[in-house]
Structure 1
């Protein structure tokens, strides 16, 4: 057998789950009532049958035991189990209400599900550990070859060498022989069909762009007859971190390499709507507090209440950011310089308090209403410092694809930066935002910001 008893995994998994389900049902009955025989009599006999029927329907509908080896991981298995369990509970609850089966013990149902979940999870974890060790020792393996040799071709071999528990065994490279690659090849294109058949190859990785389309079509056409899988290996490592999707033009698949998250109209509209609503609410509700802050700023040091400075926004567009003034007038008369933290002598005593509580940032809600900023997003910087940051960390440019924000992960985790190196350190946090941006993530950042303000931990 080519796949070394892989065909047995499905029935074993099904049998194990049904045994666990029935053992949990009977065991829970004994724990609750200290008896076994009545469980097979009405009314619990009907509930017992219903438990099995609902689980059987779930197995037939969702096929929870069918997954590729790359997804044969503990978290994936447990997530599927919990999904099936939640659905099972929901169906049983609906039936329980429909038949008015209030005579069934809720404690018995709870114990049943706890036992079943524990046993099913233990079987999955135990089976996973056993199978990984079994495959790592060379059993239940799948043999694969790579057609088309180049720098990209070795990546799949390296991946499976790092993960022997997946049970993939490399059998060689196939390509047109040249002076550069002939020492690495197992054979040429003319040897391919014979080798696949003789060595019982399970999977053929076709490495683009080293293989021509005619040869690829020939490999695909023979796959069904010889019972092997064909997989394309394409190097999109420089693009997929930005997000990608497949579009179908009739039958022709087109890979869209533009970032879906940043270009998605609905996401941007939702975020803009939230920014406007949140900023208006903050300005209207907090107006008395803002007037007090403005008055104290005016009375505690000479100079204007507000401080405006040019920053760089989305797409490199400059704008004027507005803040409550926290430094003495002419603090930067010697040229652009970063704040030295709360100990900076240029910061007024009142300004130090506002920075600790982030109150100096409040006027930026006006920037949000104008569309220059968002409530949540990476902090905007001056062009003078951006030029220096990019020399050290070119990836900073990716932050210019989103609107800057009043608060950010970097502000929460790091705070104000006093040097270019510290700005780069803060950048490491802010780089997480474009990839993880969502409404709930924004809510989490806002909640963390409020906590920092309440504790006066801004720095």
Structure 2
């Protein structure tokens, strides 16, 4: 019989947990009272019985010892132990209140759970190491084949080669033979049933790109008769997002690949509330500064006080961005170009001061109030430069999933970009934001922006 020793894992796990539980109870009693003479007598007799009955009930209800081999690792095992122990402690606390056990020692109970966590944890880690070594040496194996030959098929076989401790042994590829794959195959679809029966195959991986529904249905129909598992292998690499979820339309499962994190209502609501409150405070408290900057801008160079330019915002929607004018009028009459910092003759002397202290960005708090921008977010760019950037770094489109901001990680770590290559370099910093955005991160970026403004290190 295949895997005749695997059926022992469950009862052994149960047995050793009961040993650990009772040994911990007795050890805690000895630590608290210095002897074991009366542990089996009232009142602790009833508590000891309750400990075992409650643990047995939890095991029957939760079935906690069933782990697939891919998840049979230290962290899941220890997390499950902590969960079970907490659940046990909660039920025992209810039992304590029910029997009005004022004569029970809280210290003894605390020692019991501490000892049990230590003993149970050591047992699990020891058992895990033993099983991994046992399986790596070729025992307690699962034999598998892959149906559908291609790059994805090689990925799963390479995975199990790297992880021999899981105990999966590859037996061959199956597909319709062609000139390219015939030397790599163990057989065709017509050979599959005989091979599975003869080699006692446990698991058949079916690669969806290389197998059609008719062939897949035939394999599934045979699985009950020949006693093997069928696992569907689909290549979602490159577009499977962290927020993917399964939706059921009646009995039809639909995989939703949209990013749930970026559409999370709570995050969006809190961020918008913070943006509005912070912008109103800045505009009201900074009104005298705004007026002074506007006057200096007006009288230091000819032209309007404010500068408006079309930028690309959230989900690719264009909007007009507001800034205090820092360049001479018609600075871009020869076409779109980026600022060259201190050597850029298009920037006015006062504009250079504004750029170093970032005060030219202050009118963008109006953009925040209107909803086209956020206080913190990746800097918005013109479509002309977005086209240039995406030719080099297509991942720029990730930034369009969030609202652009007045300040960003890229602004404080890198600053203004003088060419497309520098914009791509700044992109490395801004790409950190969409996946990690939070109120605390926004406050951290704002604090560092204020430091850059105070030190006049903007460029």
TM-score > 0.5 by shorter chain:
yes
Q: Structure 2, unaligned stretches of length 5 or more?
A: none
Find the counterpart in structure 1 of residue 440 from structure 2: 444
Find the counterpart in structure 2 of residue 418 from structure 1: 417
| 183-192 vs 204-213, which moves further | 204-213
Counterparts of 1:3-402 in structure 2, within 5 Å, are 3-241=3-241, 243-262=243-262, 264=263, 267=264, 269-286=265-282, 289-294=285-290, 297=293, 302=300, 308-322=308-322, 325=324, 328-330=326-328, 333=331, 336-338=337-339, 340=341, 348=352, 352=356, 354-355=357-358, 363-402=363-402
The 2-side partners of 1:376 and 1:56 are apart by 53
Which of structures 1 and 2 has the bigger CA Rg? 2
The 1-side partners of 2:376 and 2:51 are apart by 47
| 151-160 vs 330-339, which moves further | 330-339
Q: Work out whether residues 272 and 374 of structure 1, in 8 Å CA contact, stay in contact via their aligned partners in 2.
A: no
SS at match of 1:190: helix
Q: Work out whether residues 275 and 368 of structure 1, in 8 Å CA contact, stay in contact via their aligned partners in 2.
A: no
SS at match of 1:90: helix
The 1-side partners of 2:15 and 2:82 are apart by 18
Shift of 1:411: 5.2
Shift of 1:272: 4.2
| Residues 204-239 of structure 1: per-residue CA shift (max 9 Å, x gap) | 112223233333222212211221101112223243
SS at match of 2:379: coil
The 2-side partners of 1:20 and 1:331 are apart by 81
SS at match of 2:209: coil
| Residues 222-263 of structure 1: per-residue CA shift (max 9 Å, x gap) | 21122110111222324323754333333333334444445x
| Residues 122-144 of structure 1: per-residue CA shift (max 9 Å, x gap) | 22222222222222221111100
Change (3 A) 1:338 1:133: farther
| 10-19 vs 245-254, which moves further | 245-254
Change (3 A) 1:309 1:176: same
Shift of 1:393: 0.7
Q: Work out whether residues 145 and 174 of structure 2, in 8 Å CA contact, stay in contact via their aligned partners in 1.
A: yes
Change (3 A) 1:274 1:388: same
RMSD: 3.4
Q: Work out whether residues 146 and 153 of structure 2, in 8 Å CA contact, stay in contact via their aligned partners in 1.
A: yes
State TM-score, norm by structure 1: 0.83
| 39-48 vs 12-21, which moves further | 39-48
The 2-side partners of 1:3 and 1:19 are apart by 26
The 2-side partners of 1:109 and 1:361 are apart by 62
State TM-score, norm by structure 2: 0.83
| Residues 288-331 of structure 1: per-residue CA shift (max 9 Å, x gap) | 532354356457774787665432102322223345x5x85439
Change (3 A) 1:113 1:220: same
Shift of 1:153: 1.9
